[in-house]
């Protein structure tokens, strides 16, 4: 690799690169010094006259990533020097720069990293096809043919590529698709953050730099947006130099490269990277010198402005009127014919994905706040609340959680409008909207933190759930208002960035030749603060501002994208909210007994920073290649589908599984349960097995009738009868909790729709004994056992007259009468089964077990003869008795 660079970038070419960079920076420096004075004038005028946008409802956090890191983990990295893949540990800190280490152990020991990747200007790709397409469209003669061999062989099918038009490309790969998606989200966030390198807090230097850059490119004939305005000032200037330097070097170097097309392309990429690094060093040093020169002049210029502000403003207004008379008629004509018909189309193309993205931000914010409320309901301790607040504090900087919001904006399509208005790429608008989404999410979360913290201090004894709910509603209301204001401002700025360059380009041939004569109207003392070029652009801007404002206002009136009308002003309902501390709340310090983290400098402090995204490597857990496979989120931060929706789905799946098992158990009942049969088939099967005539239909028991009580004068106990009578049939019917009343014999009455769920049949061989007929129904609180002891030789002895008994005893006498019929049948034919007897006093929903009892014959002389009862026959016979009428 070194031979390729040294042989093609000799001393002469390096001097040429230095001279070219110095020439561009000298020309840019003159424009920058002029625009610096103008920007200072606008800043001081704004400070004196006041004005500006209304105060936002949500609070803004100044240093959100303090003591935080974004991501870290291991993957495979392709080394250009050895042309081999090696395992590397990557660490993404709060600066969003990617640091590469030999291993995690090297990172833990504080060893210097192998390299640092600043992602400004890069594109994160996960497809080799997309990468080859970018290579083929790059400004190089050494292009890889589509049908040629593979450009780079990856060890896995999940690549990650960082592509840059000038700098070195970086190739990574991981083991699973889940890792690829997570790393891709992190890389995209790194690109998005580092591209937004110009600080908006600088009210003078930043506007001066952007205006100087625009005017410099317009002087070269480049109007419209520029997608390489990425990174900080030095990186943007390096891209500006490479825009003209690279084609010149390409014509000199590429024809001299040797080897196959793919190898020539790789060599050219290495040479281009070396040139870019050299240019970047020079632009950084020269830009710092330029800024220092302007800062030296700053006090003198500021004093002049504050002394002669009125005269400067009057002079500028005079010149503006002259230029407006020249430019405004031509601008209005161009506006009405070529711009105005397309404003609504451009606005609609911008509004659709942007509104979806901000709506997704609100949905995620609402979902996370609801999750906090649910957790507080489960555990209302303040310690748990503090724990959950600590988790959501970095929600806006969680690349995986915010990915769904960013993807909505990536659907922006300006095809058809790009060619007409000279828009090189919609990426400028996409990344700007994504940055605004992240800011709004962080503002919402930070405001929620402040409200909850304030409520806990003022209302310490109040219910936490109510407090959180109230804070949540207030934050969402504030978010709706602020997001509407932010989107409308974004739409206006985007329309200006698209339309203004087009109009300047169209008006330049007719207006530019007449502009120098207006310089004579400006006093020499004020000439540094009043520039004709700036006034000319302001006049063009004023000519289209009215139409743009009207288009955005009409879109807000339609309320198609949840925009507030301009007339709707949400008053500040929390006057004390903006007076709260500007520092972030240390929720970890709120937990009683929390361990204090020792403060150390250097890399050791970075290693203990709380990581926002799940770590790819867990301490003490052996994972292949330090991958993130199956690794839970750090601090239980749910990612992707691991949030509360996934928890609900798991509960639903578990419920479905239990229902499936229950249905399966019903379809294959155990032996103790009776199979479900049709009434006709069941009746025929019962008669065939028992060889009995069909029983007479039972008369239904009147509703509310009380079951028969046990004869209090019976000398036998339930324990004695259970030993004498077999089989024992237990029937348990379901009873609702509301039915606390039991029958007098201990049975829960079956309602109309109740069914017998479980029948237990116990079969046992007993000795034949001398029968003695007795009837007994035991009164029990849990179950009812109808047990009968039939004895043939004393059958009539136990019968009593109905006139001598009470009403309860009359019912008992009726059962004993039925038992006597069974005993007589036994005497006639001892080989036959006992006929089923039905009592007219029994409920139709509750069967009498006496008809299924085998006679226990006691005191029979001779050899005992066993009586065997078939359990299956008993089960089939019992089903008809236990079956309830259909509902």
Percentage of the chain modeled with pLDDT above 90: 45
Q: How far is CA 404 from the centre of its chain?
A: 7
Residue 146 has pLDDT above 70, yes or no: no
Is pLDDT larger for residue 89 or for residue 573? 89
Is pLDDT larger for residue 590 or for residue 80? 80
Do residues 9 and 1 touch, judged by C-beta distance below 8 A?
A: no
Residue 805 has pLDDT above 50, yes or no: no
Position 708 scores a pLDDT of 39
Do residues 838 and 848 touch, judged by C-beta distance below 8 A?
A: yes
Token pair recorded at residue 834: 């006992």
Exposure b/e, 728-763, CB count within 10 A at least 16 = b? bbebebebeeeeeebbebbbbbbeeebebeebebee
Which class for 531: exposed (0-12), middle (13-18), buried (19 or more C-beta within 10 A)?
buried
Strands annotated E in 145-222:
158-163, 170-174
727 upstream amide cis, omega within 30 of 0 = yes
Q: Give the residue-averaged pLDDT of 224-244.
A: 94
Is pLDDT larger for residue 561 or for residue 121? 121
Do residues 505 and 331 touch, judged by C-beta distance below 8 A?
A: no
Would you place residue 778 in the very low, low, confident or very high pLDDT band (cuts 50, 70, 90)?
very low
Token pair recorded at residue 192: 């998005």
Q: Give the residue-averaged pLDDT of 293-302.
A: 94
Position 625 scores a pLDDT of 41
pLDDT tens track for 682-701: 444 344 444 444 444 444 44
pLDDT tens track for 570-604: 655 565 565 555 556 665 555 544 444 444 444 44
Name 76's bridge partners. Answer: 87, 173
Identify which of 197-211, 807-821, 822-836 has the greatest average pLDDT: 197-211
Q: How far is the C-alpha of 75 from the C-alpha of 174, rounded, in Å?
A: 6
DSSP-derived 3-state class of residue 116: strand
In angstroms, what CA-CA distances link 576 with 384, 464, 579, 610, 794? 27, 21, 5, 31, 98
pLDDT tens track for 409-466: 999 988 878 778 888 889 999 999 999 999 999 999 999 998 888 887 776 656 778 8
CA-based nearest residue to 635, from 389, 434, 401? 389
Q: How far is the C-alpha of 632 from the C-alpha of 570, rounded, in Å?
A: 42
Position 825 scores a pLDDT of 60
Position 722 scores a pLDDT of 52
Give every CB contact of residue 332 below 8 A, 6+ residues apart in sequence.
Answer: 543
pLDDT tens track for 152-195: 888 899 999 999 999 999 999 999 999 999 999 999 999 999 99
Position 595 scores a pLDDT of 44
pLDDT tens track for 325-366: 999 999 999 999 999 999 999 999 999 999 999 999 999 999
pTM of the predicted model as reported, rounded to 2 decimal places: 0.69
Position 649 scores a pLDDT of 56
Q: How many CB atoms lie within 10 A of CB 835?
A: 14
Residue 655 has pLDDT above 70, yes or no: no
Position 260 scores a pLDDT of 86
Query: What is the sign of the dihedral through the CA atoms of 797, 798, 799 and 805?
Result: positive
Give every CB contact of residue 577 below 8 A, 6+ residues apart in sequence.
Answer: 59, 447, 450, 451, 454
Identify which of 66-70, 142-146, 218-222 has the greatest average pLDDT: 218-222
Residue 281 has pLDDT above 70, yes or no: yes
Among 368-382, 391-405, 461-475, 817-831, name the one with the lowest average pLDDT. Answer: 817-831
Q: How far is the C-alpha of 450 from the C-alpha of 584, rounded, in Å?
A: 9
- HEC profile of 524-551: HHHCCCCCHHHHHHHHHHHHHHHHHHHH
Position 883 scores a pLDDT of 52
């Amino acid at each position: 690799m070194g031979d390729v660079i040294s042989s093609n970038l000799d001393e002469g070419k390096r001097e040429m690169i230095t001279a070219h960079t110095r020439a561009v920076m000298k020309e840019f420096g003159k424009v920058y010094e002029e625009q610096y004075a103008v920007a200072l004038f606008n800043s001081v005028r704004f400070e004196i006259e006041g004005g500006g946008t209304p105060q936002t409802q949500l609070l803004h956090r100044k240093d959100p990533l303090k003591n935080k890191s974004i991501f870290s983990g291991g993957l495979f990295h392709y080394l250009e020097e050895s042309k081999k893949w090696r395992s590397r540990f990557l660490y993404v800190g709060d600066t969003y720069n990617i640091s590469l280490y030999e291993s995690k152990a090297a990172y833990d020991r504080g060893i210097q990293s192998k390299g640092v990747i600043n992602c400004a200007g890069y594109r994160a790709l996960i497809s080799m096809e997309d990468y080859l397409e970018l290579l083929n469209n790059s400004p190089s003669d050494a292009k890889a043919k589509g049908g040629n061999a593979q450009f780079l062989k990856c060890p896995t099918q999940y690549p990650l590529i960082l592509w840059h038009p000038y700098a070195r490309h970086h190739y990574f790969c991981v083991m699973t698709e889940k890792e690829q998606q997570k790393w891709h989200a992190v890389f995209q966030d790194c690109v998005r953050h580092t591209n937004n390198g110009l600080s908006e807090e600088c009210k003078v230097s930043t506007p001066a730099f952007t205006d100087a850059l625009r005017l410099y490119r317009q002087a070269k004939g480049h109007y419209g947006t520029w997608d390489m305005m990425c990174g900080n000032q030095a990186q943007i200037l390096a891209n500006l130099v490479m825009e003209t330097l690279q084609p010149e070097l390409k014509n000199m170097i590429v024809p001299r490269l040797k080897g196959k097309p793919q190898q020539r392309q790789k060599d050219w990429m290495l040479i281009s990277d070396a040139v870019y690094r050299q240019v970047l060093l020079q632009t950084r040093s020269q830009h710092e010198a330029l800024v220092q020169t302007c800062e030296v002049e700053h006090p003198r210029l500021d004093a002049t402005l504050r002394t002669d502000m009125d005269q400067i403003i009057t002079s500028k207004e005079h010149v503006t009127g002259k230029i407006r008379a020249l430019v405004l008629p031509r601008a209005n004509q161009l506006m009405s014919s070529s711009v105005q018909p397309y404003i609504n189309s451009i606005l609609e193309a911008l509004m659709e994905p942007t509104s979806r993205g901000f709506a997704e931000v609100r949905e995620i914010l609402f979902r996370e706040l609801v999750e906090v409320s649910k957790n507080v309901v489960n555990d209302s301790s303040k310690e748990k609340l503090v724990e959950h607040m600590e988790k959501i504090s970095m929600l806006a900087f969680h690349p995986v959680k915010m990915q769904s919001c960013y993807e909505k904006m990536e659907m922006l399509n300006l095809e058809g409008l790009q060619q007409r208005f000279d828009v090189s790429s919609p990426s400028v608008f996409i990344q700007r909207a994504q940055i605004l989404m992240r800011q709004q999410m962080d503002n919402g979360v930070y405001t929620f933190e402040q409200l909850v913290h304030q409520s806990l201090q003022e209302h310490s004894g109040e219910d936490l759930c109510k407090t959180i709910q109230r804070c949540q509603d207030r934050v969402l209301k504030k978010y709706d208002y602020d997001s509407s204001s932010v989107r409308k401002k974004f739409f206006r700025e985007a329309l200006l960035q698209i339309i203004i360059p087009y109009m300047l380009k169209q008006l330049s041939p007719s207006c530019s030749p007449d502009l120098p004569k207006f310089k004579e109207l400006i006093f020499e003392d004020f000439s540094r603060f009043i520039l004709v070029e700036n006034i000319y652009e302001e006049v063009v801007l004023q000519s289209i501002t009215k139409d743009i404002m009207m288009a955005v206002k009409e879109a807000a009136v339609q309320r198609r994208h949840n925009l507030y009308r301009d007339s709707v002003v949400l008053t500040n309902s929390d006057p004390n909210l903006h007076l709260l501390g500007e520092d972030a709340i240390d929720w970890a310090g709120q937990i009683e007994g929390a361990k204090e983290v020792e403060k150390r400098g250097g890399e050791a402090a970075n290693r203990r920073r709380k990581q926002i995204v799940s770590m790819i490597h867990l301490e003490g857990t052996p994972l292949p290649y330090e991958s993130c496979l199956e690794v839970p989120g750090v601090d239980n931060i749910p990612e992707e589908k691991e949030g509360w929706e996934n928890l609900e789905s798991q509960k639903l799946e578990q419920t479905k599984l239990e229902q499936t098992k229950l249905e399966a158990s019903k379809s294959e009942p155990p032996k103790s349960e009776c199979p479900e049969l049709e009434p006709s088939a069941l009746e025929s099967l019962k008669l065939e097995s028992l060889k009995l005539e069909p029983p007479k239909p039972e008369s239904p028991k009147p509703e509310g009738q009380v079951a028969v009580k046990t004869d209090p004068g019976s000398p036998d106990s339930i324990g004695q009868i259970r030993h004498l009578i077999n089989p024992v049939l237990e029937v348990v019917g379901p009873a609702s909790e509301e039915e606390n009343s039991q029958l007098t014999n201990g049975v829960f009455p079956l309602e109309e729709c109740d069914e017998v769920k479980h029948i237990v049949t116990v079969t046992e061989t007993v000795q034949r004994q001398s029968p003695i007929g007795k009837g007994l129904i035991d009164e029990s609180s849990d179950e009812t056992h109808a047990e009968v002891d039939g004895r043939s030789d004393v059958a009539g002895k136990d019968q009593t007259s109905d006139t001598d008994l009470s009403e309860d005893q009359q019912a008992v006498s009726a059962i004993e009468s039925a038992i006597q019929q069974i005993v007589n049948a036994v005497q006639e034919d001892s080989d036959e089964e006992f006929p089923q007897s039905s009592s007219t006093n029994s409920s139709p929903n509750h069967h009498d077990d006496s008809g299924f009892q085998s006679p226990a014959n006691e005191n029979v002389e001779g050899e005992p003869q066993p009586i065997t009862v078939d359990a299956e026959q008993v089960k089939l016979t019992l089903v008809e008795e236990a079956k309830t009428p259909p509902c």
